[in-house]
Amino acid sequence: MTSSYQQQLDAKVERISAQFAEYQPPALEVFESPEQYYRMRAEFRIWHTEDDLFYAMFERDENNNKKVIRIDEFPVADRSINALMPLLLAALKAEPILSNRLFEAHFLATLKGEMLVSLVYRCPLTAEWEAAAKAISEQLNIKIFGRSRGQKVILTDDYVVEELTVFDRKYQYKQIESSFTQPNAQVCQKMLEWACNAAQQSDKDLLELYCGNGNFTLPLSTCFRRVLATELAKSSVYAAEWNIQQNGIDNIQVARLSAEEFTQAYNGERVFRRLQEAKIDISTYDFDTVFVDPPRAGIDDETLKLLQRFERIIYISCNPDTLHDNLKQLSQTHKITKFALFDQFPYTHHVESGVLLEKR
């Protein structure tokens, strides 16, 4: 397994180095993943036979037909998920009301040791289901969340609290069941440290677009006078504000705006009541750095123009193709001074990368 991991990582390094060579970046910094037990999320179909049920995934054969693969252990997922899988399955089998028409099981684990399991059904969830689910929740010391069409049943919480260590400080993060979180927590910690090293220390302010639940926001706040972070999804804004308060950080404000809306506000093209209600006055900020971690589609043209006005851009990307495309515009005004590959998704073609761009 070691040789195959190293081979796939070497192939990614070669591919990314070649893809970005035209921008003349510095040497690529490579951050490896653990070879096994690295993923904090796992989702399985529950496959029913006449006298049994089991976790399942699918793969396609040479004729593109889907084939059911029984999953008894899953070394991709965190050890805590692997330990829980047979215990949970046995408990579900022992209670017909819990196994009947059960469609999927989703696991969300944390380095801190908390676990949330979402059970997805193709039938309504009753009071009897709730009582049985609560019993196994207590028996297995996990949080359980039930879903069916038009129905959500939260027994205790619909979130876990993760603890990530960045240099010598620990940060607490609320991770909500249906919201995005970085799946590889150990590589995520390396990404956070890399971003802080790229930021260095500034006596000015940081703008962050697409902040999510504040994953990067919290540690980056130690590098700047103040941080203004933007995020559109309400659940992520709520989690980010909880995380800021929970960690006792007092120099971050979160604005519920998309990147496009922030650009309009920053340029004075629109006035947003959401900014007024949050008591955010953009004109009081003195930004020298912008941090972006956009979705796979990358950054729109107007936001790219906004980024070009800053001295420094820290760009984390989950899609090297859109990063490469965005750099066509950004490289007209900025030069890559740090370049990193984070192996968030071992044994897949997916790559997480990072660049620090500084004004020419």
Residue 196 annotated among the catalytic residues of the structure: no
Task: Tell the residue number behind the tokens 């926001």, with chain if given.
Answer: 217
Indicate the residue type of 173: Y
d(CA 168, CA 104): 38
Please answer whether residues 118 and 179 qualify as being in contact, where contact means their C-beta atoms are separated by less than 8 angstroms: no
d(CA 163, CA 112): 6
* Cβ neighbours for 95, distance < 8 A, ≥ 6 positions apart: 132, 136
List the catalytic residue out of 73, 261, 352, 358. 352
Residues tagged in the binding site annotation: 182, 210, 215, 231, 293
Residues tagged in the binding site annotation for S-adenosyl-L-methionine: 182, 210, 215, 231, 293
d(CA 59, CA 24): 39
The arrangement of strands across the sheet holding 66-71 comes to 66-71, 53-60, 41-48, 102-109, 115-121, 143-148, 151-154
Residue 316: name the closest of 334, 333, 298 by CA: 298
Q: Annotated catalytic sites, by residue?
A: 318, 352
